[in-house]
Amino acid sequence: MNEYILSLDQGTTSSRAILFDTNSNIIAIDQKELTQIYPKQGWVEHDPVEILNTQLETIKGVLEKSGVTVKKIKAIGVTNQRETTVLWDKNTGIPVYNAIVWQCKRTSDMCEEIKKSSLNSYIEENTGLVVDSYFSATKIKWILDNIPDAREKAHNGQLIFGTIDTWLIWNLTNKKVHATDYSNASRTMLYNIKNLCWDETILTALDIPSNILPEVKQSSGVFGYTDHKVFDDVIIPISGVAGDQQAALFGQACFKEGTVKNTYGTGCFILMNTGNKLIKSQNKLVTTIAWAIDNEVEYALEGSVFIAGAVIQWLRDELGIISRAEESEICASSVADSNGIYIVPAFVGLGAPYWNMHCRGSIHGLTRGSNRNHIVRAALESIAFQTKDVLNAMEKDAKMKVRTLKVDGGAANNNFLMQFQSDILDVDVERPKILESTALGAAYLAGLGIGIWKNKNEIKSNRKVEKIFKSTMAADERNKLFAGWQEAVRKTIGE
C-alpha cells in the first residue's frame, strides 16, 4: 500500500500544499496566491485568516488532484516564511492585528535605537542575528505598543504569539498545540541559541511578556495531531517543522558540515551547515539554528540577498524589456558578455554582507552600444555576483573552501545563470531533479519524525541530481569581472 506525506509550504506570496510519496516523488501540488497588504510605504502585512484559509484550500486541492485518500497520509510537514509575526487571542483565535511580514520596515527606527545601546552587542552575541526590522522581536513590540489593550491582554495571558508555523499548527490542532521549532525560534531575535531558551534579558528590554511565547520543540518529531474536523475524522500527526530556508537545507541533504545550498527565489538565501559548531560571523552573516533532531542541535551560517529573482520580475513588469521570466535566459545567452554593464539591484538596500538599508539600485557602464540583451545579462549576473559576496564571507567565517553549491528555487531553472554562477564561483553547481527543496525538506523531517525514514543517510540516498554545472571560465576573466562588480557596489553605497 502506498503511503504519502503532506507538506504545507506557506510562503510570502502564496500558500502551497505538496503531496510526496515515500520515494520523494511529487504526486500533486496545489497553490493559492496571498494578498499583499501595503498600508504605508515600507510596511508589508498579510491577513492571518487568509493565510490559514488558503492553506486549508490547498490541502483540499491537492487531495482532489491526486485522488489519494486521507487515510494514506501518514504525516504532515510544515514549512513557512520566517520571521512573519502574528499575535492572537488564545480564547477566540482572532488575531489582534494583521501578520507583520518579514519584509516590513516599520520598526527600522526602533532597531536604530537598539543599535545605539548595549543591547545591540548582547543580541548579536546570544541570538546570532544582527539587529534588524527583518526579525520578529521588534514586530511583536510594535503590536504591543500600538494596538489598544494588546499589552494588557498579553500580560494577562490572553494573547499568544507565533510565527506562521505556530499559527498553522495551533489552528490545525484546534488550539491544542502552541509550539514552534528551533529553526523558527532562532529567527525571532528573542531566542538564545547558546542556552537554547527564550532570552529573558531581551524580553525584559523590549517589554515582551514571556507567557505569549510558544513552546520550542525539535524540528522532527510529533508536535501534535490534526483536529478530527480537518480531515473528516482522520487524525494525522504533524511531525516535521522548519523555517523555509532551513527546510531547503534539509531537503538538499546538506547534512555534512560545510555543505551549502542557495535558494534562488525573490531573494537568495545561502546557508552553510556548520554542524554542532556555533560560528559567530566576523563577516556580517547571521548564525542560525539549522534544525534539532534526536536531541541534537545543528547550526548554520546564513547570508540573505534581498533581490535575486525579483530583478527579473523588474525587467518584465517595470521596464517591459522581457515579456516572461524564461526569456531572460535567451537574451543573456545571445550576447558574449554584458558589454561592461553592472546592475546593483539594491531596490530595498543591500543584504549580506553589506547590510546597507539606505542605498538604492544602480546601473553602471552604460554606453551608446548597450542594448536590452546586455541589460538582461547584467541583471542575471548580479544574482551570481551577490551570491559570490556571501559565499566569500562564509568561507572566511568557516575557514573552509566550498567545493559544491546545491541550488534550488525558481531561478535555478535558468541554465545561463547556473553556468555563470559556477564560472564566477569556480565551484560545481548541483541542481537536483526536485527543485521543491523547501517542501521536500519539511516532508523529510515529518517522515523522519514518525519513522518512515530511519535516519539522514536513508534520506540522502533518495536525492537525485539532474545536472552539475562546472566552471569553464579562466581565472583572469573571473577576477576581472568580480573586481568590476565590487567597484559598482562601492559606487552604489557611495564609498
Rounded to 5 degrees, what are φ and ψ at 182? -60, -40
The grid coordinates listed for 118 are: 548595549
Is 392 in contact with 386 (CB distance < 8 Å)?
A: no
pLDDT value of position 87? 97
CA angle 145, 147, 149 (to 5 degrees): 90
The grid coordinates listed for 415 are: 541554465
Give the span between the Cα atoms of 107 and 42, in whole angstroms.
Answer: 10
pLDDT value of position 495? 65
pLDDT value of position 493? 92
Distances from the Cα of 194 to the Cαs of 92, 278, 422, in angstroms? 35, 8, 35
Give the residue among 275, 276, 281, 250 at the shortest CA–CA distance from 263.
Answer: 250
Pick the CATH number of 4-244 from 3.30.420.40, 1.10.630.10, 3.40.309.10, 3.30.9.10: 3.30.420.40
pLDDT value of position 44? 87
Give the span between the Cα atoms of 401 and 404, in whole angstroms.
Answer: 9
pLDDT value of position 1? 59
User: Are β-strands 237-243 and 220-225 bridged in parallel, bridged antiparallel, or unpaired?
Assistant: antiparallel
Question: % helix / strand / coil in the chain, to the nearest 5?
Answer: 35, 25, 40
pLDDT value of position 379? 96
Domain boundaries, the chain: 4-244
Q: pTM of this prediction? A: 0.91
Low-confidence ranges of the chain (pLDDT < 70): 1, 495
Give the span between the Cα atoms of 229 and 235, in whole angstroms.
Answer: 9
Three-state SS string over 311-368 comes to: HHHHHHHHHCCCCCCCHHHHHHHCCCCCCCCEEECCECEECCCCCECCCCCEEECCCC
pLDDT value of position 185? 97
